[in-house]
C-alpha cells in the first residue's frame, strides 16, 4: 500500500526534492496501473456483452423475428441471453440512436415500424449519396478500389450459385460501402454509415425475394463497368437506377407483410 505523502522539507536540497518527486510519481504510476489492471478487463467485458446483445437484437429485427411495434423487455432478454440489464440497456441506447427502437414509458423498448414514407425518404437520400459515390470513384479511378469491387462481385457470383443469401447480403453491403470508400470523400462515407443499419435491414429482405439476387448482381456489374469506363455520368445514372430498383423491392417486401 502506498504510504501517505509527506511534505518536502523547505531546506531540502534540490537533488533530494527531485528524488522525492520521482518516488511520488512512481507510487502514483503503480497505483494507476493496479487500478487499470482491475478496471480495464471489466470495461472490455462489458463492451463485448453490449456488442453481443446489439448484434442479437439487430439480427432478430433484420430477420423479422422482432417485428415492427414489438415491445422488447430488459428482463426477458436478460434471461434469454444470460446477461445483466446493463449491457441490454447500452445496446438499447445504441439501437435507439440508430433509429431502430424507441423507449416506451413503463413498457420497455418498441421496435420502430417502417412506413412507406420513411422508406421513400431513406431511399431518396441513398440514391443521391450512392449516385455521387459512383460518379466520384469513376472520376478519380481508384484502381485498388475497383479491383476490390471486382473481387467482391466474383465472390457474390459464387454465393448466388450456392444460394447463400446471408453471404450475398454481407457482400452487398461491402460493395456499396466499397464505392463510397473508394471515392475518398469523408462526408459521403460518414453519411452512408449513418444510414447503414437501416439499409442493411432492407438489403437482407430484398435479397430474399425470388430472382432478386441474380438481378441485383447484374446491376452491380453494370455499376462497376460504368465506373471503370471513366464515364462518370453513366456511373451515377447506373447507380441511381440500381437504388430505385432496390426501393421498389423494399416497398414490395413491406406490402407483402401488411396484406
Q: Is 82 domain-assigned? A: yes
Q: Is 8 domain-assigned? A: no
Task: State which of 59, 86, 111 marks the end of a domain.
Answer: 111
Q: Where are any strands of DSSP class E within the chain?
A: 71-72, 101-104, 108-111
pLDDT band, very low/low/confident/very high, at 214 (cuts 50, 70, 90): confident
Residues 124 and 231 in one domain: yes
Residues 132 and 69 in one domain: no
Residues 132 and 242 in one domain: yes
| CATH code: domain of residue 34 | 1.10.10.10
Give this prediction's pTM.
0.71
**pLDDT of 33 over the 60 cut:** no
The average confidence (pLDDT) of the chain is 82
Q: Is 190 domain-assigned? A: yes
Q: Is 22 domain-assigned? A: yes
Residues 141 and 97 in one domain: no
Given a contact cutoff of 8 angstroms between Cβ atoms, the answer to whether 87 and 46 are in contact is yes
**pLDDT of 6 over the 80 cut:** no
Task: State which of 84, 111, 138 marks the end of a domain.
Answer: 111
User: Which tens digit of pLDDT belongs to each residue from 109-148?
Assistant: 888 888 899 999 999 999 999 999 999 999 999 999 999 9
**pLDDT of 225 over the 80 cut:** yes
Residues 92 and 194 in one domain: no
Q: Is 91 domain-assigned? A: yes
Task: State which of 111, 126, 143 marks the end of a domain.
Answer: 111
Residues 129 and 237 in one domain: yes
Residues 144 and 47 in one domain: no
* Residue 93: per-residue pLDDT: 92
Residues 86 and 155 in one domain: no
Domain boundaries, position 94? 18-111
* Residue 145: per-residue pLDDT: 97
Given a contact cutoff of 8 angstroms between Cβ atoms, the answer to whether 42 and 34 are in contact is no
Positive or negative, the Cα torsion across 79, 82, 85, 90?
negative
pLDDT band, very low/low/confident/very high, at 231 (cuts 50, 70, 90): very high
**pLDDT of 242 over the 90 cut:** yes
Q: Is 243 domain-assigned? A: yes
Of all helices (H) and strands (E), which one includes residue 120?
A: helix 116-140
* Residue 169: per-residue pLDDT: 87
* Residue 198: per-residue pLDDT: 86
**pLDDT of 238 over the 70 cut:** yes
| CATH code: domain of residue 177 | 1.20.120.530
Q: Is 76 domain-assigned? A: yes
Q: Is 5 domain-assigned? A: no
How many domains would you assign to the chain? 2
Residues 107 and 192 in one domain: no
* Residue 16: per-residue pLDDT: 46
- SS3 category, 203: helix
Grid coordinates representing 222 are: 453494370
Residues 169 and 92 in one domain: no
Highest mean pLDDT among 73-87, 111-125, 144-158, 206-220: 144-158
Mean pLDDT for the stretch of residues 52-57: 88
Residues 36 and 164 in one domain: no
Residues 92 and 131 in one domain: no
Return d(Cα 70, Cα 12) in angstroms, integer. 72
**pLDDT of 196 over the 50 cut:** yes
Amino acid at each position: 500500500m502506498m504510504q501517505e505523502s509527506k511534505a518536502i522539507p523547505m531546506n531540502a536540497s534540490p537533488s533530494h526534492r527531485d528524488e522525492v518527486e520521482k518516488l511520488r510519481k512512481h507510487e502514483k504510476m503503480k497505483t494507476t496501473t493496479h487500478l487499470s489492471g482491475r478496471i480495464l478487463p471489466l470495461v472490455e467485458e462489458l463492451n463485448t456483452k453490449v456488442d453481443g446483445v446489439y448484434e442479437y437484437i439487430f439480427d432478430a429485427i433484420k430477420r423479422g423475428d422482432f417485428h415492427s411495434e414489438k415491445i422488447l423487455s430488459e428482463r426477458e432478454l436478460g434471461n434469454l441471453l444470460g446477461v445483466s440489464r446493463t449491457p441490454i440497456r447500452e445496446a438499447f441506447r445504441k439501437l435507439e440512436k440508430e433509429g431502430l427502437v424507441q423507449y416506451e414509458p413503463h413498457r420497455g423498448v418498441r421496435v420502430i415500424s417502417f412506413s412507406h414514407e420513411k422508406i421513400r425518404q431513406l431511399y431518396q437520400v441513398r440514391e443521391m449519396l450512392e449516385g455521387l459515390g459512383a460518379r466520384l470513384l469513376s472520376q478519380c479511378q481508384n484502381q485498388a478500389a475497383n479491383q476490390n469491387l471486382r473481387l467482391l462481385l466474383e465472390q457474390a457470383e459464387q454465393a448466388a450459385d450456392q444460394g447463400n443469401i446471408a453471404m450475398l447480403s454481407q457482400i452487398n453491403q461491402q460493395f456499396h460501402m466499397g464505392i463510397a470508400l473508394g471515392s475518398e470523400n469523408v462526408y459521403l462515407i460518414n453519411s452512408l454509415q449513418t444510414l447503414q443499419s437501416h439499409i442493411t435491414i432492407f438489403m437482407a429482405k430484398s435479397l430474399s425475394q425470388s430472382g432478386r439476387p441474380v438481378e441485383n448482381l447484374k446491376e452491380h456489374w453494370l455499376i462497376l463497368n460504368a465506373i471503370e469506363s471513366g464515364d462518370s455520368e453513366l456511373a451515377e445514372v447506373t447507380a441511381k437506377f440500381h437504388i430505385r430498383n432496390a426501393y421498389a423491392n423494399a416497398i414490395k417486401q413491406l406490402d407483402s407483410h401488411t396484406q
